Homo-oligomer: A and B are copies of this chain.
Amino acid sequence: MPKPIAIIAGAGPGTGSAVARRFAKAYPVVLLARSQTSLDPIVHDITQSGGSAVGVPTDVTSSSSMSSTMEQIKTKFGPDVSIAAAIYNVASKFVRKPFLEQSPEEFLGSLEPSIKGAFNFSQATLPLMLNEDRGQYPPTLIFTGATAALKGSSGLSGFAMSKFGIRALSQSLAREFGPKGVHVSHAIIDGIIDTEKTKGYSQEIPDSKIDPKWIAESYWFLHTQPRTSFTHEIDLRPYSEKW
């Protein structure tokens, strides 16, 4: 029996790589991102720490790209590989712009990661979560969401549609695949994530940015919950956040 794997889409610096590092403590991890160059340092880092990681450049919004990635995974891990955890962490495009100034391409294009991407990723990974041999913990599919999943905002209609949509998908899949033993969960990340890029933000208040390691710990905790006790929605925000 091959060991089940974890697969993380949107494995760039920040949340994706922190999640990859956390799940690599237990599983071989497959990391998806558009470019090989953004995958390399994380794969290297995990491998150095004694974990097993492989990066597969993938455009999750393309069903053929996603299929080809799954083929590579089966070639590498065996045709009967199973998935212990699948994390959909691909960023929704954040376009803050007056509604009437957005072109159809801009608006509809911004929805693709959350709609086509989330659909392709879910369809590709769920079949490998239905194996009889389930490993120690129930197979887990987690979607990274945001406050915009609960509330629309001026100038952010596309972003809100993306995030509401991800939540709708997560809830529907939880209700469909929960009875089959798959744990589907949605995480509302509310606040600035503490990354290299956001270093300069919110410096005046200590600890006021979300620690990606703790997003990862929270996802890991969700993964360990037995099927008697599934959490389907969790929020994460700094103590100093207004909400």
Residues in A lying within 8 Å of B, measured CB to CB: 63, 98-100, 102, 104, 107-108, 111, 115-116, 119-120, 122-123, 126-127, 138, 148, 151-157, 160-161, 163-165, 167-179, 181, 183, 194, 207-211, 214-215, 217-218, 221, 225-241, 243
Contacts and interface: CB of A to CB of B under 8 A. Distances in A.
Nearest to A155: B176
A119 B138 contact: no
A72 to B, nearest CB: 20
Contacts of A168: 148, 152, 157, 160-161, 163-165
A210 B214 CA distance: 25
A148 B165 CA distance: 11
Q: Which of A116, A175, A181, A210 has the most CB of B within 10 A?
A: A175
A164 B153 CA distance: 14
Given A164-B165, A175-B152, A235-B231, A115 B108 contact: yes
A155 B226 CA distance: 24
A37 B83 CA distance: 48
A228 B238 contact: yes
A173 B229 contact: no
Contacts of A163: 168
Given A161-B115, A175-B152, A233 B235 contact: yes
A179 B239 contact: yes
A119 B107 CA distance: 8
B209 A214 contact: no
A228 B211 CA distance: 6
Contact of A119 (B104, B127, B160): B104
16 contacts: A99-B172, A102-B123, A115-B115, A152-B172, A153-B171, A153-B172, A157-B168, A163-B168, A179-B240, A210-B229, A211-B228, A214-B225, A214-B228, A214-B229, A215-B229, A217-B225
B157 A161 contact: no
A82 to B, nearest CB: 15
